[in-house]
Amino acid sequence: MEVGGGHFAAPDPAELTPEAATAIYGDLFDEMSGGYRLSGRSFARNYPRWRRYNTAPYRSATHGARFVNNYANATADAYGRFEAAGPMPPGSVIAKDTFYVGKDGASFPGALMIMEKGEAGFSPTTGDWRYTMIMPDGSVFGETDGINAEGMRFCADCHAAAAAHDHLFFMPEAFRAGG
């Protein structure tokens, strides 16, 4: 399944080597994290200090063909064991920042995708995860239990396919940094 819609689909994305993607990410990072911070959400302020579990940005077909990274807070450090991680404890937060690179070389920030694990029973239909999407200007596109909850259901619906590993998909093997 590919997600469509103006906020999500990236037309004509570039093919980049890991080195080239890393360099562009380095150039964009301050602008990306500065924009997300305007949301006022603590995860946006904190994630740049969390551990990153991918070795280089990779293109994610399921997140609008943008280039993405995956960070996890200390509570979620089992994320680095990938499919062997087991259920994440409450307070776990996974952050996926994203950017777009077009074939014409233009690059710009994409949305910040967040999964936050609540207490048992917080949200039985989403495996107790809250999904939030922050736009590059810091506005909140939606969150599964708040703003635009209806428009965010597709996040949880797709991630439910990974219910066997606590709704987490992890990244392609080639980009995994061990933990």
| Residue ranges in contact with ligand HEC by CB under 6 A | 1, 3, 60, 62-63, 68, 70, 94, 96, 113-115, 131, 133, 154-155, 158-159, 168-171
CB of 102 to ligand HEC, least distance (A): 19
Beta carbons of 58 and 22 less than 8 angstroms apart: no
Residue type, 150: E
CB of 31 to ligand HEC, least distance (A): 20
CB of 141 to ligand HEC, least distance (A): 7
CB atoms within 10 A of CB 33: 16
What is d(CA 166, CA 156) in angstroms, rounded to the nearest whole number?
11
Of 166, 136, 164, 135, which is closest to residue 151 (Cα–Cα)? Answer: 135
**Of 56 and 171, CB closest to ligand HEC:** 171
What is d(CA 142, CA 131) in angstroms, rounded to the nearest whole number?
8
CB of 70 to ligand HEC, least distance (A): 5
What is d(CA 73, CA 100) in angstroms, rounded to the nearest whole number?
24
Longest dimension (CA), the chain: 47
